[in-house]
Structure 1
Amino acid sequence: MKFWSRLKDSLSGIGQALARYPVTILWLMGIAILNMIEIESSFSRYSQFIFTFVIGAMLSMVGQHIYERFYKKTTHRWLILGGSVLLTILYYFTLTSGDIFEYVYFIRTSVFLFSLLIAFIWIPSISNKQVYFHQNFLAIFKALLTILLFSGVLTIGIFAIIVSIDTLLFTMPADSTIHAANIIWCLFAPVYFLGMVPVYHEQGSQEGAREDAYLVPRFLEILLTYIVIPIVAIYTIILLMYVLLNIGGQFWTDNLLEPLLVAYAIVVIVVYLLSCNIDHRFADLFRKIFPKIMLPIVAFQTISSILKIQEMGITYGRYYVILFGIFAVISGVIFSFFPPNRNGWIAIVLLVLGMISVTPPIDAFTVARNSQMSRLEKTLVENNMIENGMVQADASISVEDKIVVTRSVDNLEMFGEIERVNYLPQDFDVYADFEEVFGFPMTYSTQIPGSPGNYAYLNLSEETVMNVEGVDYWGYVFFSSEEEKEWEVGQGNILKIIYQEDDYFTLQLTDQNGTEIINGNMSEAIEHAFEQSDVREPLEIEDMLFVVENDAAKVTIVMISLDEYGNRVNGEGHLFVDYK
């Protein structure tokens, strides 16, 4: 009986979704049909239509919630849904006719979709004393987890059936699994999800909603209070120790820390919103303490991200990192000093920041484009490389300026804005014409101007040939200042590459009894490679070669890459050992 009862509930939920979100269902069906056509035979305007249909589906979902929260008459509902269709059509005409799977369109659409999702969650809680933002967040979060689980299991099951039929009975079409995945994830999953969204009546009340929609399942409560919150606590302690120990130096320049802190802020915000629905001592402590700890961490990181603009200028990635930092700081303030029933304010902040990021002339791509064009032009002018409105090649400029030029041109090409640089030749191809136009090859380096960093790498073109004839041992080596490594290199002999703090690496070859066969220091070869990388990149074999030889053996390392940053030195290469 329980099975049939649950099946009945599931079917009624799907029926409810069909009646409640009819326009959304039509958009979803369109997405599934588009994907079917693309799977069978790709067509040129697929990306335009798929982006438009996804936006249309989300707009109609938000429109339905606006109606349920603020209106009663059916005419209001169809006017709002009609408005969502009109906005979708207008969005379509903002897209170019070419291939729009480019950074600008993809990211702009992603921002729109994320903003619409936040609005979808937030609207039912506006000025609502019965449904707060964190409650509706929980309901949507549970529905998403359920759908991911159900759809994942269904996908595995359908794939297994198709493979079994193909293997045991008769041959199935090659794209059967892709079509199945399309139906499951583009039609079944979203429709089932919409059937789980709580129903709002009487301007936002919970009447008619499922009784358990705003309850935390026991499994999720245990997961949050006894696993997630303690892990976040330990991770927070580690971050705090790092920030306190490095606040005077490395914290402000460590690019690796930035994504970790962004991920940390996201986790804290999500866990906080979920914990607002739990009556438990650990959850109470988390709500009281962690937003106040997150606040200074994300504030420092936002300042650090702003300071990094001096290094690379503004890119769209840096723009969004700073924007997220501002959001995280405001969220920390709201969570720390206001009661949970004000959590919905963070949705307003997100929507405002999201709209700012896509509204010219302060949107991410306009700001990033202007920053990179200004940075490029400034560097070229300072080096007297613009004459009569055109670039003049000059290979003698500093490595730091070569890196600035390369990265700025690269970013403009990635944004699709390189045509706006009017002092470059017409039909300029970045990767084919760069060296001819600027006088030096594209120069990349992990070196940060003003800091102790070096990088060198080997030119591994098709013409690169390594002769291994007559060599007794040939292998790959990776050596690092972080740990000592050793390799068995034939005849029971052991080769070690040992880091010397003031002298790079020493190579040592010993026999089975530990008797030294050969010994050589790699510092001269490594320093030569770094010096040559300041002049040109990539390097040829003769500039990345280390050889040590005596009467017993000859050891050669053709270094593929070297990097030095702070106190860390790493390298990799091909090892050749010849015993005499």
Structure 2
Amino acid sequence: MVKIGRFVKRLKGLTDAVARFPLSAAFLLAGAVINAIAITSWTDQYYKPLMALCVGAVFAAVGQVIYERFFDKIAVRIGIMVASAVLAGGYYLAIGTAPEVTMEVAVKTAVAIFALLMVFIWVPSIRSRVTFNESFLATFKAFFISVFFASVLFLGVSLIIMATDQLLFRVDEDATAHAANIIYLLFATMYFLSLTPFYPGEKEKAASAEDAGAHEEALGKAISCPKFLEILISYIIIPLTAVFTIILLLYIVINIRGSFWSNNLLEPMLVSYSVIVIIVYILACNLENKFALAFRKIFPKVLIPIVLFQTIASVLRIGDMGVTHGRYYVIMFGVFAVFAGVVFSFLPARKNGIIALVLIILSTISIVPPIDAFNIAESNQKNRLEEILAKNGMLEDGKVTANPSVSDEDKTKIRNTFQYLRDMGYTEDIEWLKDKDLYAGFRDMFGFDEYDYEGETGRNIYLSLAEQESGALDIEKYDRFVMTSIWTYNSRSEESEICTIEKNGEEYKLMKTVGAGLATISLQDKEGNDIVSLSSDAMVERFKDRNSGKEGAGLEEMTFITEGEGAELCIVLRSLSIDNYQDSSTLNAELFVFIEISK
């Protein structure tokens, strides 16, 4: 009976959510229907109305929260609902002219929804006894609870569909997709809204004592941190974040004069780190244990220099790569993260709502022309390409002229910039690119290949032992023959044994050391001393002047012989690949090893 009562209570919560957010429910229902049609028809023509309906649902949810916080007249609620519908319609008209859902439309939509979600969290804390930290915690809990329940439900339904299909009768192949559509788009979202409490507002002043008490109880439960989450944040996430921070700081200190400013892989890592620290800090503001207090005191001050250095590094990379929408957002987030660190460091926790307002403003700036991420990126990349071409005498009087003698650095810039403009669909507005084949015609336009895979330190080389080889290798004097491979991708050096050889009562080991950009094949005596060895440097040196691309090579060219004291190694390459990229190279080879022991 208790379980049935809980189920009925949950079900009532969903129906109450529909009554509380009727326009959002209507938009989501329509979106689920549209998505079901799209799943059945296997076409993308429904993406734009689906996106408009989802944006409308978020607009309506934000409008309802604003109404509950500041108004109590039914006419105002209707007006806000009408405004939400108009905004959703305006959004659809704005994207309806585009022939397809482009990257720009998708990113701007995601940013707009994110900004609206921040408004949804921030509004209940405006001049309220509920802080932004508490509102964020309530939303955080509601999101993960709804995702968890929806995922469990989807897993169960998927198993039922699979069992029915396997054991009883054939089930339509789209059944699982339809189930996901209903569960995640409709159920999960409405369940999330049902977990959103009534925050203090104008309407509560006129509420009955019973309703006010129920709302207060639900609010207290929603903004309180469960014991499980407190333990997870305080004793697991915070210590792990502290260890990672120490590693990050050590890396920055060690590499501050070198690779830190050019390591592209570090940028997304630092952005992710900043996001985690900000989220954990806001959640920790609801806790009062020693770990949470220490985190709140120390980490904001650590966040500032880390993000500041990374933002400066991102700005410096503009000189090499130009401004793209991705770099625009990285730099903008860096500015926000520095601001958040300052707020966290010097203002009381109850003032954290300021960062939400700043984040909303920055998000809006990034999607509103003419200073949005995509307009800025398009303008910068167009100017950048034209400047590089003009500098190399390739663009005069609106006509592009091929120039194969362009420097490798400028070739890379031309390739990257052209590919970005083409992939984003910005080449249609460039007069000298109209009526050009943007894919197969790259070489005709610029004089060099689009995908030449050339690095700053050399060419990529792919060789294989020619099948039609007239000669033969004399192996009569060799005692053993083995096949092995080497790959110098790993940054750490690793040694392994290929085989053991016994001759004249002595035992020898053929060893392979691979990693850190170097590979070595060596023959060792029983004491572990190298008798004879050959490193991959000899292979790189021999083929460094070869042309890029795949080609065959003769037996003599692919053979390396080295002699030591009482032993000889003969290595024949079956295949060899040397990939040069910027300041590093990777060697990958399959080889035959012949060993002669003469002592």
* TM-score w.r.t. length of structure 1: 0.88
Distance 2:196 2:266 in 1: 37
Does structure 1 conserve the Cα–Cα contact (< 8 Å) formed by 2:465 and 2:558? no
Q: Which range moves more in the overlay, 522-531 or 553-562?
A: 522-531
Distance 1:78 1:425 in 2: 50
Q: Which residue of 2 aligns with 1:384?
A: 393
Equivalent in 233, 247, 251 of residue 242 of structure 2: 233
Distance 1:75 1:382 in 2: 64
Does structure 1 conserve the Cα–Cα contact (< 8 Å) formed by 2:72 and 2:203? no
User: Alignment RMSD, CA only?
Assistant: 3.2
The superposition leaves residues 33-55 of structure 1 with CA deviations (integer Å, 9 ceiling, x where unpaired) of 12211111134521211211111
Change (3 A) 1:499 1:141: closer
Equivalent in 489, 492, 498 of residue 482 of structure 1: 492
Q: Structure 1 residue 559 and structure 2 residue 568: aligned?
A: no
Equivalent in 524, 547, 560 of residue 548 of structure 1: 560
Query: What secondary structure sits across from 1:308 in the alignment?
Result: helix
Q: Structure 1 residue 365 and structure 2 residue 371: aligned?
A: no
Gaps of 5+ in 1: 448-452
Distance 2:585 2:203 in 1: 60
The CA deviation at 1:426 is 1.3
**Partner letter of residue 305 of structure 2?**
P
Change (3 A) 1:31 1:549: farther
Q: Structure 1 residue 152 and structure 2 residue 183: aligned?
A: no
Q: Structure 1 residue 454 and structure 2 residue 457: aligned?
A: yes
The CA deviation at 1:64 is 0.8
Q: Which residue of 2 aligns with 1:266?
A: 275
**Partner letter of residue 193 of structure 1?**
F
Q: Which range moves more in the overlay, 489-498 or 7-16?
A: 489-498
Q: Which residue of 2 aligns with 1:416?
A: 425
Alignment of 1:126-525 (within 5 A): 126-128=126-128, 130-203=129-202, 208-209=215-216, 210=218, 211-429=220-438, 431-443=439-451, 447=455, 454=457, 456-457=459-460, 467=467, 477-480=486-489, 482-486=492-496, 488=498, 494=510, 496-497=512-513, 505-508=519-522, 519-525=533-539
**Partner letter of residue 430 of structure 2?**
V
Does structure 1 conserve the Cα–Cα contact (< 8 Å) formed by 2:578 and 2:585? no
Q: Which residue of 2 aligns with 1:68?
A: 68
Aligned length: 563
Gaps of 5+ in 2: 205-211, 474-480, 503-508, 563-567
The CA deviation at 1:529 is 5.5
**Partner letter of residue 382 of structure 1?**
K
**Partner letter of residue 190 of structure 2?**
V
Q: State the percentage of identical aligned residues.
A: 38
Change (3 A) 1:289 1:41: same
The superposition leaves residues 518-576 of structure 1 with CA deviations (integer Å, 9 ceiling, x where unpaired) of 8544335425665557xxx5554559x8542589855215333424665x643324445
Distance 1:29 1:325 in 2: 38
Distance 1:16 1:258 in 2: 44
Distance 1:292 1:500 in 2: 36
Q: Structure 1 residue 21 and structure 2 residue 43: aligned?
A: no
Distance 1:327 1:579 in 2: 63
Change (3 A) 1:510 1:173: farther
Does structure 1 conserve the Cα–Cα contact (< 8 Å) formed by 2:32 and 2:186? yes
**Partner letter of residue 410 of structure 2?**
D
Greater Rg by CA: 2
Change (3 A) 1:564 1:324: same
Query: What secondary structure sits across from 2:305 in the alignment?
Result: helix
Distance 1:217 1:356 in 2: 37
The superposition leaves residues 44-74 of structure 1 with CA deviations (integer Å, 9 ceiling, x where unpaired) of 5212112111111111111111111111101
Does structure 2 conserve the Cα–Cα contact (< 8 Å) formed by 1:499 and 1:506? no
Distance 1:326 1:62 in 2: 26
Does structure 2 conserve the Cα–Cα contact (< 8 Å) formed by 1:162 and 1:177? yes
**Partner letter of residue 187 of structure 2?**
F
The CA deviation at 1:100 is 3.0
Q: Which residue of 1 aligns with 2:505?
A: none
**Partner letter of residue 416 of structure 2?**
R
The CA deviation at 1:89 is 0.8
Change (3 A) 1:519 1:47: same
Query: What secondary structure sits across from 1:212 in the alignment?
Result: helix
Q: Which range moves more in the overlay, 515-524 or 131-140?
A: 515-524
The CA deviation at 1:508 is 4.0
Query: What secondary structure sits across from 2:576 in the alignment?
Result: strand
Change (3 A) 1:487 1:181: farther
The superposition leaves residues 209-257 of structure 1 with CA deviations (integer Å, 9 ceiling, x where unpaired) of 5131111000000111111111111111111222222222222222121
The CA deviation at 1:428 is 2.7
Distance 1:298 1:468 in 2: 58
Distance 2:368 2:279 in 1: 27
**Partner letter of residue 62 of structure 1?**
V
Distance 2:485 2:384 in 1: 40
Q: Which residue of 1 aligns with 2:83?
A: 83
Q: Which residue of 2 aligns with 1:450?
A: none
Q: Which range moves more in the overlay, 196-205 or 548-557?
A: 548-557
Query: What secondary structure sits across from 1:548 in the alignment?
Result: strand
Distance 1:499 1:39 in 2: 48
The CA deviation at 1:274 is 0.5
Does structure 2 conserve the Cα–Cα contact (< 8 Å) formed by 1:138 and 1:274? yes
Distance 1:373 1:579 in 2: 59
Distance 1:518 1:425 in 2: 62
